[in-house]
Amino acid sequence: MPEITIRNLIIDFPFEPYDIQKDYMEKVIECLQNKTNGVLESPTGTGKTLSLLCSSLAWLCGQKAIFQMKQINNENVKSDNFMLNLEAKLNLQIGSSWNELTPRPPKIVYASRTHSQLNQVMLELKKTAYRHVKVGILGSRDQLCIHPQVSKETNMGAKIHMCKILTSARNCIYYNDVEKKVKDSSLFQEDRLIDIEDLIKKGKQTKCCPYFASRELQNDADILFAPYNYLLDPKTRRAHDIKLHNDVIILDEGHNVEKVCEESSSSHISSTIVAVCINEITAIMKIFHEQVEQSSFTEINLPKDFTSEELIYLKTIFMLIEKAIDEIELTDKKSKTFPGSFIFTILEKAQITPTKINSLSDVLNKVCQFLLTVNNSQIHQRGSSLSKFLEFLEIVFNSLGSNQSTNNTDLNFKLYVEAEIAKPLKGNSTWNSTNAEAGGKILNFWCFNPGFGMKSLLEQGVHCIILTSGTLSPLAATISEIRIPINVQLSNKHIIKSNQISAVVVDRGPGNQELKCVYQNRTNQKYLMDLAQTCLNFYRVIPGGILVFFPSYPFLKSCVDYWQENGVWNKMAAVKSIFVEPQSKEELKLMIEEYYKMINERGASLFAVCRGKVSEGMDFADAKARAVIVIGLPYPPFNDPKVMLKREYLDCGKKKNISSLDGNEWYQLEAMRAVNQAVGRVIRHADDHGAIIFCDCRFSFPNNIKSLSQWLQTHIVSRLSFGQSLKLVSSFFKQWKDIPTKIFLENVNITSPCSSYQYSRVLPAQKLAPNISKSSKVDYTKLYEASTSKDNTNKCETLSMISTKRKSFLDDLENSNNNNEKLDIYDEFHRSKNINENKYALQQSVKKRKITIMQTKSSDNLKKNESVNTTEYFDFKKYTTNLQKYLSAEQLKTFKEATKAYITTENCEQFILTLSQLFLTNKNDILLSLYKGLC
């Protein structure tokens, strides 16, 4: 592998790096050598992950070398010249000199949002010269537990307590001797790159708990992988015993860090939760009483972990909490906002103070574990409400900060109290068996400062923090949000060339309806129809897969419902198979597999939501996403209480610090960051190419363009007509010789939009031959019958075809030299039921499902028994020339307007009526023939 030197550090790289990769690695090394924090942006497809791994691990190898040298020097007391020179050289590379022996060398803690993203990082690590390093990965019991009973538990809190019960009593065969199993097993020691799936597989083979094995492996790891909520959440750090002193923290995909910081420091409780806690404590007291009655005073079979007096103490606390919550007065809007420290006023009424919280937490944990061992019909939730209340207390008291001051709570938190809305019971589910308390309230304890969590991370004594992503722009806003010292910044260019990306803002649809996805338009039928027609037209010129991102799930569902009701869904499905993003992980995996399959057969489109699972962390390289269509701006819900309080919080902060974000700026950036993530799906590597279509006029606003990723801004084209936008994208794919697959619609029932995912099946066809001349006729070479299996799944063979690449009717009309007025639409007129450009029609028998093809010209390759309908070839160019010649300017304008209206509404009767008035009122025989030719 090539060796390169950056800032005196030698780095092994898999290939000769690009300049932007060198720039990125230089900034990473600067952070490491100077022990300073950095915010680094480099677009998806620029080799960010590879550059990050190679530069950081090269530095780590130097750190380990100097650590070992220090140990040798301390053992030998005296150092010779060779060792001194080596130490000086290493200090030059790593950028710092150690004055004392540290307990261990530093490690790289590499965090991303999900384990699937971390698995992709580990695959990149295997490509490098640093694949020999020891790797650790952290996961939850939910992912790693292999115990037959515990792994089946669906409630996470219950699963944790069940695990603690078994391990404390050493009744789990997988946990017993886990340390010895990890050290002695060659399965764990020989393979240094172990991901979550490997841990589970090796754990089952050796009967060793993967969860605790991962904790053992983390102690000796050179690089530790973990989701970044494991680092940012103090509770999770303590639960996994994560020590970060002197370690390098890398937060990849860091555009989500602000949100994770806020969410990990926020919590809520309700009157219902408190009421259930009282019921469960009462049920335990009843069990105690029954045991006393059934046993002699010398043989009472009671749990030894807590006493009756402690149960009485807990019940008293919960009853006082319930009373304190009931006493909170709300406004007419059934809600009220308080300073964050007001929560301590409520807790003090129940005698819950910082000095008593540790003993209270200990008792609550013991009670929760006891409830998991009890089989009693009176105890429905098995301690889940008690666990929730304990979690709430931990977050509240963490808000005091390291100096235990309520000023920290007031500075970073708000308490929002709202009326609790009763929810209907869901069947026989024990989790939902308790309805909301009548007149109850919800206490929302919300953190609005991401810097609170980041500061907590810094206080662990880390070496440095590197926040990186492909979508951090604008960097100033990101730095303002995280509120930690940042001395190194980078916003990298993209590795691709200008001819690899086409980005266009579509202001209006083919029906000239303004595309603006505001609340008022979400029920506007004209807007919804023109939006569908916009997608439909782009479907025809874009090959492969298309990702269509909506601003929210409700709007996605309303569009699907409307389009299915009005028939446009079937027309879109006739061009590409359509899939809808489900909200379940399991269903999403199945849907993605089917989506990939249909791309290869005939092209596909995936409807997804900004901020959803599809919008980040998934790879859609090459034909899997040749284009991304963004519909609307995904603003957070404007009237959501949390959003409103966040804006108020930032507005107050703006008055104190003029350089910080205000509420409106944050609100705008939230939408654009989600858009940046969505459009990042289209270019996945240096040789990829694709298009980005922004279907909302607001994307042409200068402020919105500036909020997009910096590399994309210079490629955006706006202020075009719809026809010009369509031509721009069509020409882009023609230069790459990407030609959309022509398709033949099969009559199938479209599934309900409420299902997890759906797609429309159509007969696939081979790509159009690229070298056919414009005058070529249609020649069908192969024909197969479609067969149906017992489960009604159609199995279609390929219908190969060669078709003419001819400009559309409106294109000829628009580009005629005899007319200076341009049409605002470029559409394929073969949708008209009369025009002979429809050279085939598929007719399906209900019983045998046979397909008959009718074509315009006979072919020697057709089967003898096939019917052939021969008609004369229709020349659009000649037809448009005649129109220009024999129609007046006013008549031509009428013809254009009628054609636009037909394409939008597809009202054929009105179209023919308008043309009859235009052509038949004129006695010209040529015009009459033109009318007959059209009809």
Alpha helices, H only, 680-735: 702-707, 710-713, 722-735
Residue 232's alpha-carbon distances to 89, 143, 242, 265, in angstroms, are 36, 20, 11, 9
What's the mean pLDDT when you consider all of the chain? 77
Confidence of residue 336 (pLDDT cuts 50, 70, 90): very high
Q: What pLDDT does 847 receive?
A: 34
- Cα dihedral sign, 272-274-280-283: negative
Lowest mean pLDDT, pick from 431-435, 627-631, 792-796: 792-796
User: Ranked by mean pLDDT, which of 46-55, 288-297, 874-883 comes out on top?
Assistant: 46-55
- DSSP 3-state assignment of 788? strand
Q: How far apart are CA 602 and CA 741, in angstroms?
A: 6
- What 8-state DSSP symbol labels residue 799? B
Residue carrying structure tokens 């690449």: 805
Whether the Cβ atoms of residue 661 and residue 668 lie closer than 8 Å to each other: no
Tokens found for residue 747? 């009559």
pLDDT at residue 814 is higher than 80: no
How many residues does this entry show for the chain?
935
Non-local (6+) Cβ contacts of 83 within 8 A are 69, 72, 73
Non-local (6+) Cβ contacts of 184 within 8 A are none
- What 8-state DSSP symbol labels residue 117? H
Non-local (6+) Cβ contacts of 206 within 8 A are 181, 185, 187, 188
Mean predicted confidence (pLDDT) in 479-502: 90
Residue whose C-alpha is closest to residue 666's, from 679, 684, 653 = 653
Q: How far apart are CA 49 and CA 319, in angstroms?
A: 53
Mean predicted confidence (pLDDT) in 284-308: 65
- DSSP 3-state assignment of 582? coil
Q: How far apart are CA 694 and CA 835, in angstroms?
A: 32
Q: How far apart are CA 11 and CA 21, in angstroms?
A: 12
Q: What pLDDT does 427 receive?
A: 41
pLDDT at residue 647 is higher than 90: yes
* 502-553 pLDDT tens trace: 999 999 999 999 999 998 898 899 999 999 999 999 999 999 999 999 999 9
* 913-931 pLDDT tens trace: 677 666 655 555 555 555 5
Q: How far apart are CA 432 and CA 385, in angstroms?
A: 12
Pairing of strands 604-609, 545-550: parallel
Q: What pLDDT does 339 receive?
A: 95
Residue whose C-alpha is closest to residue 505's, from 336, 741, 713 = 713
Residue 177 Rama label (left phi>0; alpha psi -120 to 50; beta) = left
Q: How far apart are CA 269 and CA 280, in angstroms?
A: 16
Whether the Cβ atoms of residue 253 and residue 469 lie closer than 8 Å to each other: yes
Residue 872's alpha-carbon distances to 810, 835, 839, 923, 930, in angstroms, are 21, 11, 11, 25, 14
Whether the Cβ atoms of residue 63 and residue 106 lie closer than 8 Å to each other: yes
Tokens found for residue 631? 């519909």
Residue whose C-alpha is closest to residue 284's, from 261, 255, 264, 313 = 313
Residue carrying structure tokens 């489109």: 605
Measured in whole angstroms, how far is the alpha carbon of residue 759 from the centre of its chain? 21
Q: What pLDDT does 849 receive?
A: 36
- DSSP 3-state assignment of 240? coil
Per cent of the chain over pLDDT 90 is 36
Q: Which amino acid is at 894?
A: T
Whether the Cβ atoms of residue 743 and residue 602 lie closer than 8 Å to each other: yes
Q: What pLDDT does 62 receive?
A: 86
* 703-734 pLDDT tens trace: 899 888 888 998 999 988 999 999 999 999 98
Cα angle: 495, vertex 501, 507; to 5 degrees: 140
Non-local (6+) Cβ contacts of 524 within 8 A are none
Residue carrying structure tokens 């979400």: 522
* 539-574 pLDDT tens trace: 999 999 999 999 999 999 999 999 999 989 999 999
Q: How far apart are CA 294 and CA 870, in angstroms?
A: 97
* 188-213 pLDDT tens trace: 766 667 788 888 888 888 888 989 88
Confidence of residue 767 (pLDDT cuts 50, 70, 90): very low
Q: How far apart are CA 750 and CA 770, in angstroms?
A: 33
Mean predicted confidence (pLDDT) in 260-286: 91
Q: What pLDDT does 165 receive?
A: 82
pLDDT at residue 300 is higher than 90: no
Residue 544 Rama label (left phi>0; alpha psi -120 to 50; beta) = left
pLDDT at residue 393 is higher than 80: yes
Mean predicted confidence (pLDDT) in 330-349: 91
Residue whose C-alpha is closest to residue 635's, from 674, 681, 583 = 674
pLDDT at residue 423 is higher than 80: no
Q: How far apart are CA 418 and CA 335, in angstroms?
A: 4
Q: How far apart are CA 647 and CA 670, in angstroms?
A: 12
Whether the Cβ atoms of residue 409 and residue 235 lie closer than 8 Å to each other: no
Lowest mean pLDDT, pick from 307-316, 692-701, 804-813: 804-813
Q: How far apart are CA 511 and CA 906, in angstroms?
A: 11
Whether the Cβ atoms of residue 689 and residue 683 lie closer than 8 Å to each other: yes
Tokens found for residue 26? 């230089």
Element (H, E) at 853: strand 851-853
Q: What pLDDT does 807 receive?
A: 40
Residue 607 phi, psi dihedral angles, 5° rounding = -85, 120
- DSSP 3-state assignment of 402? coil
Mean predicted confidence (pLDDT) in 370-385: 66
Whether the Cβ atoms of residue 431 and residue 441 lie closer than 8 Å to each other: no
pLDDT at residue 75 is higher than 90: no
Residue whose C-alpha is closest to residue 196's, from 116, 113, 108 = 116
Element (H, E) at 877: helix 876-886
Residue carrying structure tokens 């970044």: 228
- What 8-state DSSP symbol labels residue 699? G
Q: What pLDDT does 748 receive?
A: 33
* 673-693 pLDDT tens trace: 999 999 988 888 888 999 999
Whether the Cβ atoms of residue 777 and residue 597 lie closer than 8 Å to each other: no
Mean predicted confidence (pLDDT) in 406-420: 94
Residue whose C-alpha is closest to residue 784's, from 866, 902, 673 = 866
Q: Give yes or no for a cis peptide into 474 (omega within 30° of 0).
A: yes
Whether the Cβ atoms of residue 699 and residue 505 lie closer than 8 Å to each other: yes
pLDDT at residue 245 is higher than 50: yes
Whether the Cβ atoms of residue 911 and residue 901 lie closer than 8 Å to each other: yes
Element (H, E) at 475: helix 475-482
Confidence of residue 879 (pLDDT cuts 50, 70, 90): low
- Cα dihedral sign, 498-501-505-508: positive
Residue 767 Rama label (left phi>0; alpha psi -120 to 50; beta) = beta
Q: What pLDDT does 535 receive?
A: 95
Q: How far apart are CA 398 and CA 409, in angstroms?
A: 9
